[in-house]
Homo-oligomer: A and B are copies of this chain.
Amino acid sequence: MTAQVPDAPDGGHGRPVPDATVARLAVYLRVLTELRWAATGPAAPLGHPRTISSADLARLAGVKPANLRRDLTFLGSYGVRGVGYDIHLLTTGISAALGADRSAPVALVGLGNLGQALAGYAGFGGRGFRIAALFDADPQRIGRTVAGLVIQDIGDAGRVCREAGIAIGVIATPEHAAQPVADVLVGAGVRSILNFAPGVLLVPDDVQVRRVDLALELQMLAFHEGRRADPAPTGVAVSS
Q: Is there a chain B Cβ closer than 8 Å to A49's Cβ? A: no
A150 at the interface (CB under 8 A from B): no
Copies in the complex: 2
**A-B CB contact pairs (8 Å), 22 listed:** A5-B227, A22-B223, A23-B216, A26-B216, A75-B234, A93-B234, A96-B235, A96-B238, A97-B233, A98-B223, A99-B226, A99-B227, A128-B219, A128-B222, A167-B229, A168-B222, A191-B225, A191-B228, A192-B222, A192-B225, A208-B221, A208-B224
Which B-chain residue is minimally distant from A24 (CB atoms)? Answer: B216
B-chain residues with CB within 8 Å of residue A27 when the two chains form the complex: 213, 216
B128 and A235 form a contact (CB under 8 A): no
A62 and B104 in contact (CB under 8 A), knowing A13-B234, A116-B113, A192-B224?
no
Interface positions of A (Cβ within 8 A of B): 1, 3-6, 8, 12-14, 19, 22-23, 26-27, 30, 60-62, 75-76, 92-93, 96-102, 104, 106, 112-114, 116-118, 120-122, 124, 127-129, 167-168, 170, 191-194, 198, 200, 208, 210, 212-229, 231, 233-238
B127 touches A221 (CB 8 A): no
* Nearest CB in chain B: distance from A226 CB, A: 4
Q: How far is the CB of A62 from chain B (nearest CB, A)?
A: 4
Separation in Å of the A59 CB from the closest CB of chain B? 9
Q: How far is the CB of A24 from chain B (nearest CB, A)?
A: 10
Known: A5-B231, A75-B234, A128-B223. 14 other contacts (CB 8 A): A14-B233, A22-B223, A23-B220, A97-B234, A99-B223, A100-B219, A102-B226, A113-B116, A117-B214, A124-B215, A129-B219, A168-B222, A168-B225, A208-B224
Q: Are A225 and B104 in contact (CB under 8 A)?
A: yes
A222 touches B26 (CB 8 A): no
Most chain B C-beta atoms within 10 Å of own C-beta, residue among A60, A75, A222, A229:
A222
Q: Would B127 and A219 count as touching, CB distance under 8 A? A: yes
Q: Closest residue to A128 on the B side, CB-wise?
A: B222
Shortest Cβ distance from residue A204 to the other chain B in the assembled complex, whole angstroms: 14
Q: How far is the CA of A193 from the CA of B217 in the complex (A)?
A: 10
Q: Are B23 and A168 in contact (CB under 8 A)?
A: no
Q: Which residues of B contact A23 (CB under 8 A)?
A: 216, 220
Is the pair A200, B92 in contact by a Cβ cutoff of 8 Å? no
